[in-house]
Chain A
Amino acid sequence: MAKRIVEYIGEEKSSGRGREVMSPYLNAPPLAPINAGAEKFAAMGKLGAALTDIGEYAQKIQIHNEEIIGRKTIDDFNLRMVENLNDHKNKNRGTQAMRPEFIDEAKQMYDDEIQSTLGSIGKLSPRVYEAVSRSLAQIKLQGIKTTFDYQTYERHKVEKEIIDTDFLTAKGKIKGGGDAAQIIANHKASILRTSPGNTALAERHAAELSIYAAEATKNAKETEILLELHGKHNGDLEKILKEVETKEFLEKHGKEIRQDIRYEISAQLNIQEQQYNKFATQKVGAVSVKIMNGLPITIDDTAGLRSEELATIEKIRDYQTRQNRAESRAQKQQEAFDRAQKSNMISGEIEAAILSNSNEYSDRLSIYKKVPEGLSILEANRLVAMAEKIFGDPKYKDGIEIIKKAFKDGAIKPEEYKDIVDTFRAQVDAAGINANAVKIANDLMNPKKTRKIGELLDAVRERLSGLRPDSEYEASVLNQYTVDLQGGQSTKDVSSQPKMVTIDGKKYKDGDIIVRNGKKFRVTIK
């Protein structure tokens, strides 16, 4: 019901007034940015900044240019002043040392140049201008100092030359016996004239000259004493020294002079001894050379030498004599050794001939019947005889045949030649060939020769032993030859046991007697 009425009212048009509507409120108006107005001045700011940059850059260029100008100004000034100073120095050469105005002139020269330079360099910034001014002032100070040092040095040089010359002159006058006091006074006055105010130098020189004068006086006196002593003792230094050491000399001349004289004489003695040593060394050396060369020594060779050196010469002579003998012995031994070498070579070649071709044996033998060079006739004959005895004796004909066969065929059949081998063995055993061979070897007195002969016999034995398989017999033969050939190439060490030999299975010692085929043989073990 109420709603209906309200709606009715709402639709009412006759209220007397039209419906009014409330107006909406206005929002905040769009505002301009607060710095909007500043933007148009930003360009002006940038222009200002750019102008400032340009100004700074221009300023830098200006500073750079000024610094270049400044440096060049300083360099030019320096060079110019070096030349000016040299000119100034040359112009006053020889006189500047003693010219006080020399420095003042240099100073004035610097001042003029500085004023001129600073006035001509144009407008500079205060900083660069002050820097240039300072540099020029420093150059001036340095130049003045150099000039001053130079003048001082020159003056010092001149003064020193004058004073030194006067000093030496004074010394000479004192040494010449002049009045020392007067000479010293004159020298002092000269120093003070040359180098005014240099009293220290004058006093020092005066002191030196005083000492020198005293020394000169003393030296003159000591020389006089020495001359007197030499005259008195005829130059015998030992006698002079004895007198110097006396009580009288001390009382007469005082301790100091005695000491000086003693030193002087001792020095002379020392020099004398040194001179003798040099002389003796040369003499002994020359004599030694003569002794070593086997030349005779004369009286003149040893004249002036003392007994010690003469005894030394005798010792050298004895030594050289012993040395000569020893050399002679050594030479002989060397010759003997050389001969033995030769003999060895021959023995080896004989063996080689046998082993290589028995047919050449006789030819070889005929060659060695000639006396080879370096081998004594006796030794050559012994070698030849040995070979002939072994290979040429008719008693060993069968054995030789066997050996020839063996050498020729390269092998021997033991069964085929058994009888012949047995016969040959008996012949060898009975003939004492081994003893002869050893004897020859011993006579030759050479281990190498013995070895070669031993090898020759070993070769025979080896071939023979191969003909029969009798190890016991072979061993006995082996032992026998091994022992017999001691001093050569022993293959068995028997030094630690009694020396024994085994022959046909029996052992024998040294001196035992063996009877074979009615003949007696003495066993000799070496």
Chain B
Amino acid sequence: METVAAVALIGGTAYSAYSQYKAGEAAEDTAAANAALLQQTANENEIIAAENLAIANREADELLKAGSDATRIKRKEIARLLAYQRTQEGVSGFAYEGTPVWLAEESAREGEEDVAMIWSNALTASEETRARGRVAAKQGQIISGQLRSQADIQLTAGSYAASAGKIGSTSTLLQGLGNAYYRINQG
């Protein structure tokens, strides 16, 4: 009976202490895994943010380029229109209402207004796109920061759990062994 009691008391204490220690370690591992996952997600989000910013910039550049192309096309149309007017007056003898000088000027002026509008729109759209890209990139950075914070929290909690497991297991071990020693030796 004495042996049974001693084995049971010491074994029970050891099991309890070991389980506490291992539980702390497991919690720390879990926390580390969680933190790594969070860090990775944060990294990915930062890459996405950079890509999104690049996309936005490219789109803005494209918008500017498209605007530039449009203005060029528009000017060519105006030039073709003026040339057509002059051609029609000389071939058929038909004359548009007003003076031919005034008519050409009017067409040229209207054409320039359209060009200006096209360019302005392109410019505006491009800036908006850039701005949207910056916002998106900022959002990505914020989310990444949050994830990294969570990762830190996980690491801290894991560290605490590990420490608690070690302390608890030590306490259990000391207490249990003391109790077992007292019981076995003092009865």
**Chain A residues near B (Cβ < 8 Å):** 1-2, 5-6, 8-9, 12, 15-17, 19-29, 31-38, 40-42, 44-45, 47-56, 58-59, 61-63, 65-66, 123-128
Pick the contact of A35 from B1, B23, B118, B150 — CB < 8 Å?
B23
Question: Which residue from chain A places its CB closest to the CB of B117 in the assembled complex?
Answer: A2
The 8 A-B residue pairs whose C-beta atoms are closest, nearest first, are: A37-B26, A125-B187, A48-B15, A51-B12, A55-B8, A55-B9, A52-B12, A48-B16
B150 touches A19 (CB 8 A): no
A32 touches B117 (CB 8 A): no
**C-alpha gap A66/B186 in the complex (Å):** 12
Which residues does chain B contribute within 8 Å of A16, judged by CB atoms? 62, 65
Pick the contact of B12 from A28, A38, A48, A62 — CB < 8 Å?
A48
A5 touches B114 (CB 8 A): yes
Which residues does chain B contribute within 8 Å of A33, judged by CB atoms? 30
**C-alpha gap A47/B13 in the complex (Å):** 10
Pick the contact of A6 from B55, B125, B150 — CB < 8 Å?
B125
Which residues does chain B contribute within 8 Å of A53, judged by CB atoms? 12
A127 touches B38 (CB 8 A): no
Question: Which residue from chain A places its CB closest to the CB of B24 in the assembled complex?
Answer: A38
Known pairs A2-B117, A5-B121, A49-B16; A37 contacts B23 (CB<8 A): yes
Known pairs A21-B55, A56-B9, A59-B9; A45 contacts B187 (CB<8 A): no
Interface centre among B51, B140, B187 (most CB of A within 10 A): B187
The answer to the question of B63 belonging to the interface, with a C-beta cut-off of 8 Å to chain A, is yes
Pick the contact of A9 from B37, B125, B146, B187 — CB < 8 Å?
B125
- Cross-chain pairs A/B with CB under 8 angstroms, 6 sampled: A34-B27, A38-B165, A44-B18, A47-B15, A59-B5, A61-B1
A48 touches B66 (CB 8 A): no
Q: Taking the nearest CB of chain A, how far is it from the CB of B72, in angstroms?
A: 13
Pick the contact of B154 from A17, A31, A37, A49 — CB < 8 Å?
A31
Interface centre among B15, B63, B157 (most CB of A within 10 A): B15
Which residues does chain A contribute within 8 Å of B9, judged by CB atoms? 51-52, 55-56, 59
Which residues does chain B contribute within 8 Å of A17, judged by CB atoms? 58, 62
B184 touches A52 (CB 8 A): no
**C-alpha gap A42/B127 in the complex (Å):** 60
Question: Which residue from chain B places its CB closest to the CB of A30 in the assembled complex?
Answer: B37
Pick the contact of A58 from B8, B45, B133, B143 — CB < 8 Å?
B8
A41 touches B19 (CB 8 A): yes
**C-alpha gap A44/B187 in the complex (Å):** 27
**B 86-130 binary contact with A (CB < 8 Å = 1; else 0):** 000000000000000000000000000010011011100100000
A29 touches B187 (CB 8 A): no
Which residues does chain B contribute within 8 Å of A52, judged by CB atoms? 8-9, 12-13, 16, 176
B30 touches A128 (CB 8 A): no
B185 touches A125 (CB 8 A): yes
Q: Give chain B's interface secondary structure class.
A: helix
Please, how many residues of chain B have a CB less than 8 angstroms from a CB on the other chain?
77
Which residues does chain B contribute within 8 Å of A58, judged by CB atoms? 1, 4-5, 8
Which residues does chain B contribute within 8 Å of A8, judged by CB atoms? 70
Pick the contact of A126 from B20, B26, B139, B186 — CB < 8 Å?
B186
The answer to the question of B22 belonging to the interface, with a C-beta cut-off of 8 Å to chain A, is yes
**C-alpha gap A17/B117 in the complex (Å):** 23
Q: Other than A22-B55, A55-B4, A61-B1, give 13 A-B pairs with Cβ distance below 8 A.
A: A6-B121, A9-B121, A16-B65, A27-B41, A29-B38, A35-B26, A37-B23, A38-B165, A52-B176, A55-B8, A59-B9, A59-B184, A66-B187
Which residues does chain B contribute within 8 Å of A48, judged by CB atoms? 11-19
Q: Taking the nearest CB of chain A, how far is it from the CB of B80, in angstroms?
A: 18
A22 touches B121 (CB 8 A): no
Question: Which residue from chain A places its CB closest to the CB of B187 in the assembled complex?
Answer: A125
**C-alpha gap A44/B6 in the complex (Å):** 19
Q: Taking the nearest CB of chain B, how far is it from the CB of A435, in angstroms?
A: 132
B158 touches A34 (CB 8 A): yes
**B 49-70 binary contact with A (CB < 8 Å = 1; else 0):** 1011001101100110111001
**C-alpha gap A47/B19 in the complex (Å):** 9
Which residues does chain A contribute within 8 Å of B154, judged by CB atoms? 31, 34
Known pairs A9-B121, A45-B20, A56-B183; A65 contacts B1 (CB<8 A): yes
A25 touches B55 (CB 8 A): no
B44 touches A26 (CB 8 A): yes
The answer to the question of B34 belonging to the interface, with a C-beta cut-off of 8 Å to chain A, is yes
**C-alpha gap A47/B12 in the complex (Å):** 7
Which residues does chain B contribute within 8 Å of A63, judged by CB atoms? 187
**C-alpha gap A50/B120 in the complex (Å):** 82
The answer to the question of B78 belonging to the interface, with a C-beta cut-off of 8 Å to chain A, is no
Question: Which residue from chain B places its CB closest to the CB of A61 in the assembled complex?
Answer: B1
The answer to the question of B81 belonging to the interface, with a C-beta cut-off of 8 Å to chain A, is no
Which residues does chain B contribute within 8 Å of A55, judged by CB atoms? 4-12, 180, 183
A1 touches B114 (CB 8 A): yes
Q: Taking the nearest CB of chain A, how far is it from the CB of B173, in angstroms?
A: 10
**C-alpha gap A8/B121 in the complex (Å):** 11
**C-alpha gap A15/B45 in the complex (Å):** 29
Pick the contact of B49 from A25, A37, A44 — CB < 8 Å?
A25
Which residues does chain B contribute within 8 Å of A62, judged by CB atoms? 1-2, 5, 187
Which residues does chain A contribute within 8 Å of B62, judged by CB atoms? 15-17
Question: Which residue from chain B places its CB closest to the CB of A21 in the assembled complex?
Answer: B55
Pick the contact of A22 from B17, B52, B146 — CB < 8 Å?
B52
Which residues does chain B contribute within 8 Å of A37, judged by CB atoms? 23, 25-27, 29-30
**C-alpha gap A32/B161 in the complex (Å):** 14
Q: Taking the nearest CB of chain A, how far is it from the CB of B184, in angstroms?
A: 7
The answer to the question of B136 belonging to the interface, with a C-beta cut-off of 8 Å to chain A, is yes
Q: Taking the nearest CB of chain B, how far is it from the CB of A13, in angstroms?
A: 10
A26 touches B34 (CB 8 A): no
**C-alpha gap A104/B78 in the complex (Å):** 147
Which residues does chain A contribute within 8 Å of B82, judged by CB atoms? none
Known pairs A9-B67, A56-B183; A36 contacts B30 (CB<8 A): yes
B12 touches A126 (CB 8 A): no
Pick the contact of A25 from B5, B59, B139 — CB < 8 Å?
B139
Q: Taking the nearest CB of chain A, how far is it from the CB of B71, in angstroms?
A: 10
The answer to the question of B167 belonging to the interface, with a C-beta cut-off of 8 Å to chain A, is no
B151-176, CB < 8 A from A = 154, 157-158, 161, 165, 176
B27 touches A128 (CB 8 A): no
**C-alpha gap A51/B11 in the complex (Å):** 7
**C-alpha gap A63/B12 in the complex (Å):** 19
**C-alpha gap A209/B84 in the complex (Å):** 183
The answer to the question of B79 belonging to the interface, with a C-beta cut-off of 8 Å to chain A, is no
